[in-house]
Amino acid sequence: MYSFLQKFHSGWAYLALLLLLIAVVNAIIGFTSKKEFTAKDRKIALFALIGTHTQLLIGLILYFVSPLGKAAFGQMSNAELRLTSLEHPLINIIAIILITIGWSKHKKLINSEAKFKTFAIYYGLGLLLILSRIPWNLWF
């Protein structure tokens, strides 16, 4: 089960990152071109939200069934173990919190420009945080 979850988590990451990147680029284009916020824009952001939340769920399950998850939690001197046991989960949880805040904030806004700006900022910060803590050496 661990091997399947690990491969699924890695594979789903490509989809989640792609959806998040599309949402950020769409928000930046919408903000800079002053276009009207439509249902298509909302769906793009929603799919990115769903993709990242699904990745979080898979990651949390993987963390607790992994032989390296909790057991390596106190290994702060080893940079690789620290990344996978502490930095990767913690920073990505913070990133998904930012993405969720962006989704929640956009619902209260009426102005299209403000909605695009909110998505660009919160989803963009989330994307940067996620990219900063991907264990690239384990991914390729």
Mind listing the pLDDT tens digit for each residue in 2-44?
889 888 998 999 999 999 999 999 999 999 999 999 999 999 9
Q: How far is CA 131 from CA 41, 115, 124, in A?
A: 23, 24, 11
How much is the pLDDT for 36? 97
- Say if CB 37 and CB 107 are below 8 A apart: no
Mind listing the pLDDT tens digit for each residue in 72-128?
666 677 777 777 777 888 999 999 999 999 999 999 999 999 999 999 999 999 999
Q: Give the dihedral of Cα atoms 51, 54, 56, 60; nearest 10 deg.
A: -160
The answer to which of 45-54, 56-65, 68-77, 114-123 has the lowest mean pLDDT is 68-77
Rounded to whole angstroms, the maximal C-alpha distance in the chain is: 51
**Which whole number is the average pLDDT over 50-64?**
93
- Say if CB 85 and CB 67 are below 8 A apart: no
- Provide the whole-model pTM: 0.90
